[in-house]
Amino acid sequence: MSQLTNQPSSFTRRRTFCLAALACSTFFLCAAHAQNSPAANSAYPAGPVTLLVPFTTGTGADLLARLLGPKLADKWKVSVVTDNKAGASGSIGTGIAAKSAPNGLTVLITATAHGTFPALMPKLPFNPQQAFTPVVLLSTSALGVATSGKSPLNTFKDFQESAKRQPGVLNYSSPGTGSPQHLAMELLAQETGIKLLHVPYKGTAGALTDLMGGHVEASIVALQTAAPHLQSGALRMLALMSAERSPAFPNVPTLKELGVQNGVVETWYGVFVPAGTPPEVVAKLNADFNSLLQLPDVKDTMNKQGMVVVGGKPDRMGDLAKNELTRWARVVEKAGIKGDN
């Protein structure tokens, strides 16, 4: 009788079997989920990654993509390819990136124009603020107000007073209508209450050549572009639009020092992914880009290009992009600048 009492009942045996089966099923489901999760998958990214650059080769964003791409490939053990999709101030390539799958396999490396072209193209089929998740701000670079080395305008005060004496007469060059240089000068004009005559060119080369030749009186120029011409005396930098003076040209004041409080405009380069990309993927991309920015050879290459290494959390890039989109929309509307659509 005692032997029968100690035997498990059929109900108990069935319950034990079901619990064991349930435990096994839960284990395998969790394992499958872990395999499919980019964060949990140690092989992430599991496939080739495209660094999409919405500008031509040789631009700052392209340089950074080709500098960092091979290092990402070594880190991730997958193919990392830079793909240039230039056109319409960067909006074509940016639109392609916006439609890409949000899986971290298409990464947008872009620049200042990301915050300017939406103001000039109100009929864009996507909203840059909603279509992307920020990853990291890679670098910034100073812009400045420059004249020919032969110009009688020796200081920013000379420039400002000349423009006020002759409203709409003092002219300036830019690489084209709606370019960051064009919008930066329009912002400066609005902040200082002066009126200038815009002379657009089809690219930086022509705008810079005519500036040095004295055919136009001023321009907004990137410091890394201006540096050799400043050293030779072909250009004169009147003021920088950066937050602080440049160590390379410590005698050039900033606009903020000269009383233009909203005069900080820097070119920037950043990384975005399509909206909806899993947070863990964004976090991994952020961490890996930040680690590369600390490499001595990366820093050296960027410094030689006049780029200031930034890095940091995604919010830093996100806040800058949001502010840029708002600021340039206001400048474009006030100046009455018309874009392509």
- Greater model confidence, 2 or 300: 300
In a domain, 35, yes or no: no
d(CA 315, CA 259): 29
Same structural domain, 108 and 153: no
In a domain, 250, yes or no: no
Q: Domain of 65: which CATH number?
A: 3.40.190.150
Same structural domain, 154 and 130: no
In a domain, 55, yes or no: yes
Same structural domain, 112 and 194: no
CB 239 within 8 A of CB 255: yes
Confidence of residue 341 (pLDDT cuts 50, 70, 90): low
Tokens, residue 231: 């050293």
Same structural domain, 86 and 104: yes
In a domain, 157, yes or no: yes
Domain boundary among 220, 240, 260: 240
Residues 296-320: pLDDT tens digits?
999 999 988 888 999 999 999 999 9
Q: Hey, what amino acid is at 240? A: L
Helix, strand, coil percent values for the chain (each to nearest 5): 45, 20, 35
- CA proximity to 53, closest of 108, 134, 115, 116: 108
In a domain, 41, yes or no: no
Same structural domain, 321 and 181: no
Q: Domain of 176: which CATH number?
A: 3.40.190.10
In a domain, 147, yes or no: yes
Provide φ and ψ at 238, rounded to 5°.
Answer: -85, -35
User: Considering the chain, what percentage of its residues have pLDDT values greater than 90?
Assistant: 71
Domain boundary among 193, 221, 240: 240
> By residue range, what is the domain housing residue 186?
142-240
In a domain, 60, yes or no: yes
Same structural domain, 58 and 114: yes
Average pLDDT of the residues of the chain: 87
Same structural domain, 146 and 234: yes
d(CA 146, CA 148): 7
Output the pTM of the full model: 0.78
Residues 222-239: pLDDT tens digits?
887 888 899 999 999 999
Residues 105-145: pLDDT tens digits?
999 999 999 999 899 998 899 999 999 999 999 999 899 99
C-alpha dist (Å) from residue 305 to 14, 102, 224, 302: 72, 32, 6, 5
d(CA 330, CA 336): 10
pLDDT at 340: 59
CB 100 within 8 A of CB 85: no
Residues 253-274: pLDDT tens digits?
999 999 998 899 989 999 999 9
pLDDT at 52: 98
Same structural domain, 85 and 106: yes
d(CA 324, CA 341): 20
Same structural domain, 161 and 233: yes
How large is the average pLDDT for residues 23-42?
43
Same structural domain, 199 and 217: yes
Looking at the structure of the chain, the number of domains it has is 2
In a domain, 169, yes or no: yes
pLDDT at 59: 84
Domain boundary among 223, 240, 257: 240
Same structural domain, 162 and 212: yes
Same structural domain, 160 and 228: yes
Q: Hey, what amino acid is at 295? A: L
How large is the average pLDDT for residues 327-334?
93
